[in-house]
Amino acid sequence: MNDTINLLMNHRSIRSYKPDPVTDDQLETIIAAGQMASSSSNVQAYSVIAIRDPKRKAQLSELAGNQRYIVECPVFLVWCADLYRLEKAVQQHAPEQESYTDAVENFIVATADVTLAAQNAAVAAESMGLGIVYIGGIRNDIEGAAELLGLPELVYPVYGMCIGYPNQEPDLRPRLPLKAVLHHESYDTAATEQSVKEYDEQMSNYLSVRTAGTRNTPWSALMAQKFTTPSRMQLKEFLDKKGFNKR
């Protein structure tokens, strides 16, 4: 164990923040650390929009399902997969050639790139004593969010991120057993299924303690509910309109 691993192993999602500001220097350092994440072929297919304006945060909070911590946090980041400037590079240097910016492969590259950068930034923020929480709800009304943020073609908001000084210390949430996610040489379905059974019991106990006995639903039952409930079904139409995944 070392300081970096200890930091990673103690990650918690923070949903309550002190009013202390995140300075410009802190923000720029956090984003610069994000930029040092691995990037496929150095395309760096992402952009980040920092929101401090209370009115704009309130608008984004409403679009994301009225999550109060978006308003409460001193700075809200919107992490976007961004192929716009790459398409502009094609138009500048190879206007006579067919562009494949709209291919599914490049959609995956951009989504992976922004995720790697965001996680680097999250760790950098936590190393400064700040807390973060990812906000997938930015995709609830993705068209409204994109319009509010002025996102051009080939840019979409993947998630938001609240950043600020924690005003809470939540318990660590248990993760799946390591053997459920670490396979050697080939995928082990038996180990996966056994690990889920073990994790169901662990999470049932965790929820029971956390909710004073009012909830003890196993993890697999929660996941079955999640994946049999339609969610954000408008995304495909939005991504089509933004020029993604045409081939």
Q: What are phi and psi of 243, to 5 degrees?
A: 95, 10
Residue pair 67/135 in contact by the 8 Å Cβ criterion: yes
- Contacts (Cβ under 8 Å, ≥6 apart) of 153: 84, 87, 242, 243
Band of pLDDT at residue 22, cut at 50, 70 and 90 = very high
**Residues 157-173, mean pLDDT to the nearest whole number:** 96
In the predicted structure, residue 1 carries a pLDDT above the cut 90: no
For residue range 73-107, list pLDDT tens digits in order: 999 999 999 999 999 999 999 999 999 999 999 99
**Residues 163-169, mean pLDDT to the nearest whole number:** 97
For residue range 114-153, list pLDDT tens digits in order: 999 999 999 999 999 999 999 999 999 999 999 999 999 9
Q: Report the candidate in 133, 32, 138 with the shortest Cα–Cα distance to residue 73.
A: 133
- Contacts (Cβ under 8 Å, ≥6 apart) of 202: 174
Q: In the beta sheet, which residues pair with residue 131?
A: 164
Determine the Cα–Cα distance for residues 121 and 106; give it in Å rounded to an integer. 22
Q: Which residue has the tokens 């053997």?
A: 179
**Amino acid (1-letter code) at residue 239:** L
Determine the Cα–Cα distance for residues 224 and 221; give it in Å rounded to an integer. 5
State the pTM of this model: 0.95
Up-side HSE of residue 164: CA atoms within 13 Å toward CB?
Answer: 22
Q: CATH number for the 3-171+229-241 domain, one of 3.30.70.80, 3.40.109.10, 3.40.50.1000, 3.50.30.60? A: 3.40.109.10
Determine the Cα–Cα distance for residues 5 and 1; give it in Å rounded to an integer. 6
Q: CA-based diameter of the chain, in Å?
A: 66
| Tokens coding 230 | 């339609």
Distances (CA, A) of 190 to 37, 179, 199, 206: 34, 10, 14, 24
pLDDT over 90, % of the chain:
99
Determine the Cα–Cα distance for residues 180 and 1; give it in Å rounded to an integer. 22
Residue pair 188/100 in contact by the 8 Å Cβ criterion: no
Q: In the beta sheet, which residues pair with residue 79?
A: 48, 159
Residue 95 is classified by DSSP as T
Average pLDDT score over the chain? 97
Question: Which pLDDT value is given to residue 207?
Answer: 93
Task: Tell me the domain boundaries of the chain.
Answer: 3-171+229-241, 178-216
Distances (CA, A) of 90 to 44, 64, 184, 244: 15, 34, 41, 16
- Provide the residue count of the chain: 247
For residue range 194-205, list pLDDT tens digits in order: 999 999 999 999
Question: Which pLDDT value is given to residue 166?
Answer: 98
CA 227 to chain centre: 19
